[in-house]
Structure 1
C-alpha cells in the first residue's frame, strides 16, 4: 500500500487488455521499426569498434638542429645505371652525390631489364677513376666501355633505392646524366675521340669547365616514383608521389617537382609519438630541343612549412556509445509509434468510407 502512491509518477501507464487493439498494420509498422533499429544499432557498433578516430591540430614548428631522412625508390627504364647520377644540395651549402653518400645515407643502383625486373646480382657499383671530367672519360678502360655498351644495347634501366639524411632546411636533389656521362655513352673510345675532334664538347678557356653537348634530347628520363617519403611514416599516411609515373614519348626534358614539406607529429593512444612529415607537390615540365645547352633531369625542390600538424588518435567512450544507442532505439520507436497512429487513422477513415 505504501508504494501505491508512487505509481502516480509512472510515465508508462498500461491499459487493460480488453482496451488494447492489435492490428495487422500495427504489426507491419512494428516489424519495420525493429528492422530499422537493428540496422542503426549495428551501424553504431561498427563505428565504435572501427580504428581510432583522428583529431588534427596545428601549431608553430619548434624543431631545430635535426636531420631529416629522405627515403627514395625510383626507376628509370631508359637509363643505364652507369649513366645515372644523384646529386643533393641545400641552401646551407652542403652537397653530396650518390658516389659519396655513405657517410650520411645509403644509395643502391640496381640494373633492371626492359620489363622492369631486377637483373640477378645486378647491383651496379661505380668504378673509381682519378682525374677530372675529360681525363676520366679518356682514360676509361675499354672493357668498362664495352660493358656500358652491352647495357645500352640490352635496353637496361636503373632502379635507384636508398635513403639519405639531410638538414632541415630548403634544398634539392636531382637525378640526371652528367656531361661526362653523356660522352661515355659513345659506342667506342674511337667514337669519343672523333666526337672531341668534331667539337661535340670543348673546354672553356676562361673557366676550364666542360661544355654540355649540343644534342641531349635523346636522353630519356622517363621515370616511375615508387616511393618518396620524408622522415618516418604514420599509419594511414599518403605520399602523393608514391606510384607516380612520367613517360617521355618524343623529345626529352626537365621534370621539376616542388615539394612543401609539412612537419607532422602522430600521437598514438598508448602515448607513443611518431615524428613524421607530409608533403604537397606541384609538377613542372620543360621540354628540351636540339641545340639547348641543358641536360634532361628530374629535380625535387623541397622547402619546409613553419606550421606543424599534430594528429591524435581518439576513441569514443562507452558512455558515448550507450547514449547513441539509447537515442537510436528510442527515436525509432517514437517515430514508429507516430507512424502507427497515422496508419490506424487512415485505415479507420477508409473503412468508414467503404
Structure 2
C-alpha cells in the first residue's frame, strides 16, 4: 500500500501497450536522434580526453620589469659577415653595437658559402676596429672584397637584453665597409677623374653619386622572439623570407610587443611576450643616398594577456553528456509530436 502511494511521484507515467501508437516517421526520427546523440557523445568525450584547454584573459599591464630578452636568428644569403652589423637603440638612449659579445647580449656570425653551406668550424670574429675603413689595413679590405666576389652569405644570431621602452634595431652594411668595396672605390676614382678633366682653372665640388644598389638586402628570418617560449606560441616573423632578385631595398618591420603570462595546470607561471607585426619595403634606386638595410621597430602594448591551461572535471563531463543526450531526445520527441499532429489534421481534413 505504501509503495503504491509512492508511485504517484513518478514523472514518467507509462501507458498500456494497446494505447501506444507507433508510426513510420517516429521510427525515422528515433534512429536519427540516436545517431546524433552518439556523435555528440563522442565529441564530448574527445574534448574531455584533451590534455588541457586554453583560457585567455586581457588586463592592464602593471609589470615593472626593466628588461626583456630578444632572441634573433637571421640569414643573409647575399651579404658576407665581414660587412654586416647589428645596431640597436631605444628611446632612453641605450645603444648596443655589433661587438661579437655585447655588454647586454651576444651576437654571433657564421660565414656561409653561396650554396648556403657553413664555411669553417668556428664563427666569424670581427677584427679590431681602426676607425674609418679607408684607413684600415689593405689585407682587411681585400678580405671584404674577396668575400663579396665569392658571393658569401652570413647567419647572424644571438640575443639582446632590451629595456621596456620603444626602440629599434637594424641589420645593415657598415658604412666604412661600403667605402672599402672595390666598386665603390672605382666610382670615387671615376668621379675624381671626371671632375679633374672638366676643371677650367676654378675650384669645383666633386659630384659623387654613391651606388648602393649592389647591396642585396635579401634575408631569411628564422626567429624573432621576446622572452622564453611557451606551448603553442606563434611568432609571426619566424620563417619569413624576403628575397630580392635584381633591385636592392630597405625592409621595415613594426612590432607591437604584448606582455604575456602563461599559466600551466600545475600552477607554473612563465612571463614572456608575444607580438604582432606590420611591414613595408622600399626600393633603393641608383644614386640615392640610402643604405639598404633591415629595420625592426618595436613598442610595448599597454595591456597584458594571461593564458591559462584548464582541464574539465569529470562532473563537468557528466553534466555535458546529460545535457546533450537529454536535449537530443527532447527535440526529436517534440519534432515527432508536431509531425504527428500535422499528419492527423491532414487526414481528418481529407476524410
Q: TM-score range by the shorter chain?
A: 0.7 to 0.9
The equivalent residue for 1:3 is: 3
In 1: Cα distance, 2:28 partner to 2:9 partner: 32
From 226, 229, 233, the counterpart of 2:225 = 229
The equivalent residue for 1:268 is: 264
In 2: Cα distance, 1:228 partner to 1:53 partner: 26
Deviations 1:93-140 (A, max 9, x none): 22122225343222221222334343452632222243444322xx13
Deviations 1:173-226 (A, max 9, x none): 100002211133327xxx94x6665568xxxxxxxxxxx971111111011211
| Conservation of the 8 A alpha-carbon contact between 2:108 and 2:157 | yes
| Conservation of the 8 A alpha-carbon contact between 2:100 and 2:125 | no
- Structure-2 change in CA distance of 1:15 and 1:109 (3 Å): same
From 333, 338, 342, the counterpart of 1:337 = 333
Listed as ranges, the matches of 1:33-112 within 5 Å are 33-112=33-112
Listed as ranges, the matches of 1:150-299 within 5 Å are 150-186=146-182, 192=185, 197-198=189-190, 214-299=210-295
Q: Secondary structure at the match of 1:121?
A: coil
In structure 2, list runs of 5 or more residues that go unmatched: 193-207
Cα distance, 1:85 vs structure 2 = 0.9
The equivalent residue for 1:306 is: 302
In 2: Cα distance, 1:149 partner to 1:243 partner: 30
In 2: Cα distance, 1:67 partner to 1:175 partner: 21
In 1: Cα distance, 2:90 partner to 2:343 partner: 81
| Conservation of the 8 A alpha-carbon contact between 1:85 and 1:176 | yes
Q: Secondary structure at the match of 1:258?
A: strand
| Conservation of the 8 A alpha-carbon contact between 1:111 and 1:118 | yes
**More divergent stretch after superposition (239-248 vs 80-89):** 239-248
Listed as ranges, the matches of 1:143-154 within 5 Å are 144-154=140-150
Deviations 1:60-110 (A, max 9, x none): 323335221111011111111111111111222221222253432222212
Return the TM-score normalized by structure 2: 0.84
| Conservation of the 8 A alpha-carbon contact between 1:252 and 1:296 | yes
**More divergent stretch after superposition (247-256 vs 262-271):** 247-256
- Structure-2 change in CA distance of 1:16 and 1:236 (3 Å): same
Q: Secondary structure at the match of 2:312?
A: coil
| Conservation of the 8 A alpha-carbon contact between 1:264 and 1:310 | yes
Deviations 1:297-318 (A, max 9, x none): 1111111122222222223333
In 1: Cα distance, 2:334 partner to 2:59 partner: 50
Q: Secondary structure at the match of 2:29?
A: helix
Q: Secondary structure at the match of 1:319?
A: helix
In 2: Cα distance, 1:118 partner to 1:220 partner: 20
In 2: Cα distance, 1:109 partner to 1:180 partner: 19
**More divergent stretch after superposition (227-236 vs 97-106):** 97-106
In structure 1, list runs of 5 or more residues that go unmatched: 201-211
From 313, 318, 326, the counterpart of 1:317 = 313
| Conservation of the 8 A alpha-carbon contact between 1:68 and 1:167 | yes
- Structure-2 change in CA distance of 1:29 and 1:66 (3 Å): same
| Conservation of the 8 A alpha-carbon contact between 2:111 and 2:155 | yes
Q: Secondary structure at the match of 1:123?
A: coil
In 1: Cα distance, 2:180 partner to 2:95 partner: 24
**More divergent stretch after superposition (176-185 vs 109-118):** 109-118
Q: CA RMSD in A?
A: 2.9
In 2: Cα distance, 1:22 partner to 1:104 partner: 81
In 1: Cα distance, 2:88 partner to 2:217 partner: 18
- How many residues get paired? 336
Deviations 1:146-184 (A, max 9, x none): 544443333221111111112222211100002211133
In 2: Cα distance, 1:91 partner to 1:112 partner: 34
In 2: Cα distance, 1:286 partner to 1:32 partner: 61
